[in-house]
Chains A and B, each alone.
Chain A
Amino acid sequence: MKTKKTIVNVVSKMIFLSFLTLFFVKCDDFTADTEGELLPGNIFNSKTAVERAVLGVYSPLADKLFSNSEAYTHLWAADDRTAVTGANKAEFLEYDQLIPTDINTKMERTWALLWEMVGAANTVIDATEEIKEVFKKEGDEAGSARSLGEVHYLRAMAYYELVRTWGEIPLLSSQKEVTGLEPLASFQDIYNLIIADLIFAKEGLGNNSIKGVYRANKWMAQSLLANVYLTTAGFPLKNTANYALAAAEAKEVIDVGVYNLEAEFSGIMGDPENNLGKSGNTEAIIAFPANKIIDGWDAGNYQAEAIAFGDKTVEFGFFDNFPAGVRKDFTFNGGADGARPKYSKFGPAWAGGPAFDDDILYMRYAELLLIYAEAQIQATGDNTDAAALAALNKVKVRAGLPEVASATATDVVWEKAWETAGEFSRWYDIVRTETLDEVNALRDTRDNDLTPLGSKLTEANPWALIPANDVADNPNLKK
């Protein structure tokens, strides 16, 4: 009995104490669940931290942003690409047939990744003063110019892709006051930011990439700037004065002599041994390493034509007009018996393995030579400009074609179509030179029968559709 009483007594006290604890002690606010999380705030507090943030801006590039068949379906609107029939290629076909939708998920993804780069870059640029302080403290003032230069270069690249693809888009130069309701900016404003960023970058960046050959250096910024100037000289801005600026920028890079055409096409791409990071491919100016841990299907999608069921084949008309020679043999497989040829330039089928290990070449020296040749001819109005022809002929000679003594800008654009077939430039060249109708007129009936053209995309309105969700969220984006 005594034990029982004791127990009862103890329990009564426990109950009383519990009351007290529950009601009177614990009435404060709970703290947030942030353990183990990276919190924003003053993260730019050391050189290492800045370095991590700068690399962060690069990181969307490793996320299949420039992969050939997972992202850029609008490039299928050009003549160097077509998709085989069947709805399993629906998202490619809608651009191939010039009838895009605003729910193309591959385009949505690309749109999002590019803006992710812009957002990341803006976050770093917003902290420009803090970053300068940090580098100053650590006695490395050139370091801050270099780090900020990389970020400005990456922001310019993202905006350049966005404006060439979607046309007028919002323009965010800071991440501080983003409302989600920003209006569309003008082409002029967008390109002004791109050009300003690249000028800032080329001045701050050094001649050599720091800690990794894929990172920005002065020549990469300048080559990109040359292309930007060339683009702004054409549709839609038509600032023809910029042809000369394009030629000047390109010339500077050519003259510095760090880049050269590879003697053989096989030295350019398709073989991991020729990766920029391995044997120092002399032709790669801007390249992205595709050796993120991706495997199987995903790896194949980086350069889809390189493996089974590529989403990219070539239109018959383009193939037939392609000048014969070593370049054509390198670029395509088959086509002789009337069956549709396939791209072979990107290398052999991926055999499988832990990581796809290849470069994605965004800009090659050959393309820079042709940018120069075209800009120089346009700027001088001289079809026999020696410097321009020298650049053009370098490309032709390697392709096994005879040198020419005279060339129009149009000739150079076609040379570029063949040289960079299946790469990233053809559609943008068609847009800026307003030649969509001409190019379509060259289409073969076999292609017209299989993938007849619609008319949602035109010379005057060649822009990809801004994803439906963004428009639904921000009616200002309605065009």
Chain B
Amino acid sequence: MIKNLNLSVKLTPIHKLSLKMKLTFILVFLSLLNIEAESIYSQNTKFTLDLKNVTVEEVFNQIKNNSEFKILHATDEIDLQRLVTISVKRQRVEMILKQLFSATPIIYKIVDKQIVLSLQKESSIPTVSKKVETVDHVIAVQNTVTGTVSDANGPLPGVNVVIQGTTTGTTTDFDGNYSIAADKGNVLVFSFIGMATKSVTVGDSNTVNVVLAENADSLDEVVVIGYGKSVKKSDLTGAVSMVGAKDIEKTPLINVDQALQGRASGVSLTQASGAPGAGYKIRVRGANSITGNNDPLVVVDGLIDVGMNSVNPSDIQSISVLKDASSTAIYGNRGANGVIIITTKKGSEGKSTLEFGSYLSFSSPTNKMDLLSPAEFIEFANTKNVGAGEGLIGAFDTQEKIDNLIANSVDYQDALYRDGAVAQNYQLSFRGGSEKISYFVSGNYLDQEGLAINTDFKRYAMRANINADISDKLSIVSSVNLQRTKGLNNHARFGERLGIGGVGFYNVVPMLDANGNYNTSTQFLGDDVASVLVNPVFLAKESKLESIGDRVQTNLSLNYKLTEKFTVNVNGGINNAKFLGVDYNPAGSGIKSPARARHGSVNRTRWQYALKLAYDNTFNEKHNLSLTAIAENRGEQQREFNATGVGFFTNLEAYNLGTADTQTIGSSFSTRQLRSVIGRAIYNYDSKYLVTASVRHDQTSVFPKNQRAVFSAFALGWNINNEAFFNSETISLLRLRAGWGQTGNEKVASDAAIDLLRNNPWIPNGGDVGIPTVLPGRRLANPDLKWETTVQTNIGFDLGIINNKFNLSFEYYIKSTEDLLLDRILPRFTGKERQMTNVGTVENKGFDISFSGTPIRTDDFSWDFNVNFSKNKNEITQLFGGQDIIFPGIRFGGSNELAPSVIKVGESIGAFYGLVYEGVDAATGNAIYADERQIIGNPNPDFTYGINNTVTYKGVDLNFFIQGVQGNDIFNATRSQLMGRAGGIPSGTSAELRNTWTATNTSASLPSLNATNTKLLTSEFVEDGSFLRLKNISLGYTLKDSNALKSIGGESLRFYISGQNLITLTDYSGIDPEISTGKGFDGTFNDAAAGVDVGAYPISKTFTLGLNFKF
């Protein structure tokens, strides 16, 4: 039942509450609401069995294989080999269990989708009395403690209750009740398989009720491996990282990708921009492709290739990251970059739950750059101009002018950034269900102000996941996700311009001119010092770059049980995204530029349908086999239209392009298709020997001739701990895994193989309107283009210590990408620019370690941790025709500077290449460089790590999460610009200039302002980008079973305060080390341009107040 959310009901108890509680409620009503919940699995599966003289174990296997039920034994005393005869027709599992155990001392309980069996030790009370008499004869029995043990779903039977330090014990009965003779001061230990053990000291009361929590490290955790399949963690052969809702809930998230940062080994996430709503760069085990797309494939509830951030983070049940080829191969296309499988929450039969949550956060920049004061700036600018033989700068040639400028100077960093940008998030969800239908419906509203003024991101989302059993054989799973995102001035590149403007726009330029208009540029100071930068405050306030994205993602899946062993599934999905960009750049938003407006729309539809046949069976009790065959078709169509107007006689912004002086229009269409046939087999023998194999045949429309390819993969696992010979007290789990597989990639532009002509306007008459002309295309055709193949070998082991209190996973991999889809730069004398080719090889090698544990778990206090460590080495091992080096000529930023990034054999993608800077010639002030250019840096880290800790004490929980990156280099192009070295900013603003060589300071570390030989692409600007960051710290308090809560129908209430990015330890001198660039408006990252700082939108330091309320 959904509780009535009546305001008066909720407000009543406020007076009775503590200050904390009052604050919480104030928060509720101030900020309104948002929500979440846990999953309850359907227990409605019905069985038809007709078995004669089979073992109990065989019956269990039938149950397991035909449902999601798992059977847990709380005791070894259950005789699994007992022969039984059983006949049921379309009955629930209870009926089977009843038949099996009615005449035995075995009791059963269905908890979620676990069937728990335990031995009823005669009738409870007499047993205890007897034991007390026999064992505890020294201590007189004074007390009988009784109580109920339950878990989140109700009473728990079969729980062992023991007095600590003795052998005295009992188990709970079917209703979870127990009774034990114990004294005040005795410690009762409650233990149950799959649950965290809990200790309670007996106090004055004779009633001790206990709630056990599920053990997070349980090996029976299910891992989603794709195409509708989950396996027990203990039967997993591949390399898969899991992040569950529990991990996600501790941090207030703007976007889904944040949830993965530092939490999954082998997965690297980089926040490229602090712009509101900006996504992260995600790489799974390094980048494979030099010029291609290296983003992992994202699958949401079976819908393939979905934008990661089109999912509302609060809707997520779990995220699986498939890392090795044996896991990803089944996804073929782009699986080589890793596959991220997101499962959203579902409803379940039983109690309906209403949940809302909300948070309110306040952000400020993590860092502020140290710049020259206005007086210093003037002094340095004058010094440079005089040194160049041009005398004092006109604007700075009298003290009066200087004083006046200083008086009107502006701290543009302060003026540009908000101190306390507000983000608010509200989430509301309902879930529940009847016997036949279950539902999960949620709504979300997020409004995130950017750090820079007049930048903003909003999201409105709604999801409905509805599952229904139409008959015993037919069921339907459906989901609809609707989302609108609205961004204002939040393009990454616009953010870069603001970022560099904040620190590079001269502080001596007054905000406004004499007429009260903005000083849009530094031209105010005259030609000698004027820079290319535009007043960032003007830019932020007067630009209006709106982007509106509407997404509709729907998925429908029909499951039909042909027989008990065969299931047929038909599913189809449509993912439509419409992006509308309406930009208005006022006159002066470029140097001397007129107003410019653009209206652009993209309408992209991806569709997919598939037919799946699944077979699951167990032979001779020990051979567990699962076969899947899939035929799948996927396609995409994209239509674009854009119109641009330049020069407006009146300020009509972007909604009247027809008034522009010059108007240009464009449109395009593209389409692609992928057709696949896939087979997968998963086999295990008695959970000891595990085998997974898959094969996939793909056909793509992208390649003219070589459309088809076959990719295969297999993996083996050995659960040594399940062997009879293995007998260890300490080691509870030991598994070896090895896998090998191929994955294909065809992710190039749909017309990449074809030679196309292009049009280019030419204005031979001197008129205003260009005549479209025809030119040969820039791209050389390559009809032989074919699939890129990544071959990956993965070996690993999993180790569990002391009942899996500690778990260690280690994986080593070698990934080699061959027939690389390389957008080769042609020698330009051919008249062509590029050709898409299959040349070159890139290798990624490394290891992932994940270590987790629960060092302390007592009744009131627990501590969980998870540490992960990833190391990857990326190396280009071969290029086109023995070529050694490619200069991709990547340019950045407002002043269009060149990046030092190159593609060189033996180096990582995007290594920095340039001259080694050897310091300053003390005699002349010139810079000294080594003669030859060489590799001067590598943007890829040596290793990355994450440390996540959760400590709970009673209702209080504390989570802190540290993330680190070690050994990466950053080319700090911003630094060279701020020192006045790079194009377009002739006078430096950086405080570093104080350390410049002058005739009187010949030991300074920076060359003279008038040095004639300084170069930009040198090691002088290469810095260590390592950092350690306190990514998140949060303190929460959960209130349960409170009368106040109950009086308003609440079940639990958690409120929390958290901080993100509070502490960063780094030697990097720029605004933030977590920097990466090369992200275009198309949203893809260029790995050949990683680690170049060109003036990023800063990352924020955030404080958040939030609450989650469950009814």
Contact = CB atoms under 8 A, between A and B. Distances in A.
A455 B526 CA distance: 36
A63 B763 CA distance: 11
Interface in B668-717: 668-673, 675, 677, 699-702, 704, 707
Interface string B745-772: 0000011011111111111111110111
16 contacts: A7-B471, A37-B751, A37-B757, A59-B761, A88-B980, A115-B829, A119-B830, A211-B765, A291-B766, A309-B527, A309-B530, A309-B986, A354-B661, A355-B646, A355-B662, A355-B768
A55 B773 CA distance: 6
A75 B474 CA distance: 78
Interface stretch (B404-412, B587-595, B1060-1068): B587-595
B830 A178 contact: yes
Interface stretch (B438-446, B542-550, B884-892): B884-892
A103 B976 CA distance: 19
B1010 A8 contact: no
Nearest to B534: A296
Given A116-B775, A212-B765, 11 more contacts: A34-B756, A38-B774, A85-B388, A87-B1014, A90-B1016, A112-B828, A115-B831, A119-B831, A178-B831, A291-B763, A339-B390
Nearest to A104: B898
Contact of A31 (B701, B825, B1016): B701
A351 B673 CA distance: 51
B403 to A, nearest CB: 25
A352 B587 contact: yes
Contact of B560 (A15, A19, A86, A111): A15
Contact of A55 (B609, B771, B828): B771
B611 A22 contact: yes
B832 A119 contact: yes
A228 B8 CA distance: 94
Contact of B985 (A55, A88, A307): A88
Nearest to A334: B390
Interface string A300-312: 1000000111000
Interface string B931-942: 000000000000
A390 B831 CA distance: 44
Given A88-B981, A88-B983, A351-B592, A469 B828 contact: yes
B667 interface: yes
A-B CB proximity, top 9 nearest: A119-B831, A277-B766, A354-B647, A30-B701, A352-B592, A296-B593, A212-B764, A38-B757, A56-B773
A143 interface: no
A350 interface: yes
A474 B759 CA distance: 29
A88 B532 CA distance: 12
Contact of B763 (A29, A97, A292, A469): A292
Interface in A342-372: 349-355
A435 interface: no
B389 A59 contact: no
A214 B983 CA distance: 33
A286 interface: no
Contacts of A309: 527-528, 530, 986
A269 to B, nearest CB: 15
A355 B827 CA distance: 33
B143 interface: no
Contacts of B1009: 86
A263 interface: no
A299 B594 CA distance: 11
Given A22-B633, A34-B751, A115-B829, A105 B898 contact: yes
A357 to B, nearest CB: 8
A108 B889 contact: yes
Contacts of B526: 308
A212 B763 CA distance: 9
A40 B756 contact: yes
B772 A175 contact: no
A33 interface: yes
Given A97-B1012, A211-B765, A352-B594, A26 B527 contact: no
Interface of A: 4, 7-8, 11-12, 14-15, 18-19, 22-23, 26, 29-40, 43, 49, 52-53, 55-63, 84-90, 93, 97, 103, 105, 108, 111-112, 115-116, 118-120, 122-123, 169-170, 172, 175, 178, 180, 182, 211-215, 275-278, 289, 291-293, 295-297, 299-300, 307-309, 339-340, 349-355, 446, 450-452, 467-470, 472-474, 477
Contacts of A474: 827, 829
Contacts of B776: 40, 56, 119-120, 123, 175
B710 to A, nearest CB: 15
A14 B764 contact: no
B68 to A, nearest CB: 22
Contacts of A29: 699, 707
Contact of A56 (B471, B667, B760, B976): B760
A139 to B, nearest CB: 23
B898 A86 contact: no
B828 to A, nearest CB: 4
B306 interface: no
Nearest to A5: B471
A93 B771 contact: no
A345 B839 CA distance: 52
Contacts of A108: 828, 889
A289 B757 contact: no
A213 B594 contact: no
Contacts of B474: 7-8, 11
B826 interface: yes
B493 to A, nearest CB: 16
A123 to B, nearest CB: 5
B883 interface: yes
A339 B397 CA distance: 15
B126 interface: no
B830 A289 contact: no
Nearest to A354: B647
A60 B776 CA distance: 12
A115 B707 contact: no
Contacts of A56: 759-760, 762, 773-776
A473 B827 contact: yes
B922 interface: no
B207 interface: no
Interface in B137-185: none
Contacts of A451: 1012
Contacts of A40: 755-757, 776-777
Contacts of B700: 30
Given A26-B675, A474-B827, A62 B592 contact: no
B819 interface: no
B219 interface: no
Interface centre among B530, B776, B830, B986 (most CB of A within 10 A): B830
A180 B883 CA distance: 13
B1012 A452 contact: yes
A353 B830 contact: no
A90 B831 contact: no
Contacts of A18: 570, 609, 611
Nearest to A452: B1012
Interface centre among A292, A353, A354 (most CB of B within 10 A): A354
B202 to A, nearest CB: 56
Interface string B856-888: 000000000000000000000000100111110
B107 interface: no
A32 B700 CA distance: 10
A86 B751 contact: no
Contacts of B982: 87-88
Contacts of A118: 829, 831
Interface centre among A35, A111, A178, A309 (most CB of B within 10 A): A309
B13 interface: no
Contacts of A180: 826-827, 830
Contacts of B983: 88-89
A88 B775 CA distance: 34
Contact of A30 (B532, B707, B986): B707
